[in-house]
């Protein structure tokens, strides 16, 4: 049980934030996995579209502080190089 008002507020906020963070991370992992699978099977049509979607998800995660912006840049760079290599 929380002893102070601020601790009580934190106790209320934490489950909500955890759920939001988990949702974002799962969406991010799914988007990255989809791009990697399309690269692996060399799907030239669907891979660029999946990359755009993944880039958007990555940018949103970085904007809210879910993951570091340098990590986002690294992921986007590597995936873009891989998709470009398919062509």
**Contact in structure between 13 and 35 (CB atoms under 8 Å):** no
Q: What is the pLDDT along the chain (87 residues), one digit of tens a residue?
A: 889 999 999 999 999 999 999 999 999 999 999 999 999 999 999 999 999 999 999 999 999 999 999 999 999 999 999 999 998
pLDDT recorded at residue 64: 92
Instruction: Give CA–CA dist 45/40, Å, rounded.
Output: 13
Biggest alpha carbon distance in the chain? 61
pLDDT recorded at residue 66: 92
Rounded alpha-carbon distances, angstroms, from residue 84 to 17, 45, 81: 37, 12, 5
């Amino acid at each position: 049980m929380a002893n102070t008002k601020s601790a009580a507020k934190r106790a209320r906020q934490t489950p909500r934030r955890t759920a939001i963070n988990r949702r974002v991370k799962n969406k991010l992992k799914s988007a990255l996995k989809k791009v990697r699978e399309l690269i692996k099977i060399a799907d030239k049509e669907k891979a660029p579209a999946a990359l755009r979607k993944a880039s958007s998800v990555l940018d949103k995660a970085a904007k809210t502080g879910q993951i570091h912006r340098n990590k986002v840049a690294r992921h986007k760079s590597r995936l873009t190089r891989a998709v470009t290599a398919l062509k």
